[in-house]
């Protein structure tokens, strides 16, 4: 894909991996829109990156539909959806409350589906497009306290495979990028400890992987890409 003048929508683009991806896309010459729930942080990120800000919560169907309408009204088309918005809750099963569980699935699974649905309706008509789902190495294994977050990433991986099977005949590439631990504000927001050692992955590393996957010629695509730090130290 040629990213120059391509239209890219990055959900959860206010900070962390999403913001780094938006920055990389703008740097490659793309026209970029980002979504976020925190208006102040969203607007600051959009100004800094050079992106179009759309205040939206992807877990709300009306916001997902409105986001796609705004992208098409602003840019006239969409070439790439990056499903990056995500939240995490980490609790033992015996302490898991329904509200927390549903909040994680609402963003990580339902939100990704809603955004992909709206993008796919556009892509299947145009007979081209790309969906990049930001997963996690958590989608390959279980772990203590991972009931909500790990399961949501397993579900995202499964949906990715379903969408890939459905959309290939329309020349739509559906890709999954699985980061291992990345130094962002995600851990603090999820109340889990993280040591910011420079040997660990940075958001820019995941952005690089997404950009490289997208820039492959459209006759082929990387279905799934896992990114590990070479030798991370705590």
Enter the CATH code of domain 7-226.
3.40.50.720
> Residue 218: what are its φ and ψ, rounded to 5°?
-65, -15
| Euclidean distance between CA atoms 107 and 122, whole angstroms | 22
Residue 188 pLDDT: 82
Neighbours of 233 (CB within 10 A): 9
> Residue 181: what are its φ and ψ, rounded to 5°?
-60, 130
Residue 153 pLDDT: 98
Residue 191 pLDDT: 79
Residue 150 is a catalytic residue: no
The residues pairing with 130 across neighbouring beta strands, listed in sequence order, are: 80, 173
Residue 185 pLDDT: 84
Q: Are 195 and 189 in contact (CB under 8 A)?
A: no
Catalytic residue among 75, 105, 123, 149: 149
> Can you give the residue ranges of every domain in the chain?
7-226
| Euclidean distance between CA atoms 137 and 142, whole angstroms | 10
| Euclidean distance between CA atoms 187 and 6, whole angstroms | 32
Residue 43 pLDDT: 98
pTM score = 0.96
Residue 62 pLDDT: 98
Q: Are 22 and 32 in contact (CB under 8 A)?
A: yes
What is the 3-state secondary structure of 40-85?
HHHHHHHHHHCCEEEECCCCCHHHHHHHHHHHHHHHCCCCEEEECC
Tokens 């958001």 map to which residue?
Answer: 203
Q: In what order do the strands lie in the sheet with 52-55?
A: 52-55, 31-36, 7-10, 80-83, 129-134, 172-179, 224-227
Residue 190 pLDDT: 82
What are the per-10-residue average pLDDT scores of the chain (234 residues)?
A: 98 98 98 98 98 98 98 98 97 98 98 98 98 97 96 98 98 98 88 88 98 97 97 93
Residue 19 pLDDT: 98
């Amino acid at each position: 894909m040629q990213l120059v003048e391509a239209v890219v929508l990055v959900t959860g683009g206010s900070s962390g991996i999403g913001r780094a991806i938006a920055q990389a896309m703008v740097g490659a010459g793309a026209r970029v829109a980002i979504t976020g729930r925190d208006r102040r942080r969203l607007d600051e990120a959009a100004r800094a990156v050079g992106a179009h800000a759309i205040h939206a919560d992807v877990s709300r169907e009306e916001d997902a539909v409105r986001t796609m309408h705004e992208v098409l009204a602003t840019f006239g088309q969409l070439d790439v959806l990056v499903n990056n918005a995500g939240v995490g809750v980490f609790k033992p099963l015996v302490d898991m409350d329904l509200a927390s569980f549903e909040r994680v699935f609402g963003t990580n699974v339902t939100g990704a589906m809603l955004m992909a649905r709206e993008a796919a309706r556009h892509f299947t008509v145009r007979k081209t497009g790309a969906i990049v789902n930001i997963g996690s190495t958590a989608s390959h294994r279980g772990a203590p306290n991972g009931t909500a977050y790990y399961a949501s990433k397993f579900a995202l991986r499964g949906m990715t495979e379903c969408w890939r099977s459905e959309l290939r005949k329309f020349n739509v590439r559906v890709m999954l990028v699985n980061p291992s631990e990345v130094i962002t504000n995600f851990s603090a927001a999820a109340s889990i400890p993280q040591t910011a050692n420079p040997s660990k992955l940075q958001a820019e590393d995941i952005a690089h992987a997404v950009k490289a996957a997208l820039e492959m010629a459209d006759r082929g695509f990387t279905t799934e890409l896992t990114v590990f730090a070479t030798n991370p130290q705590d």
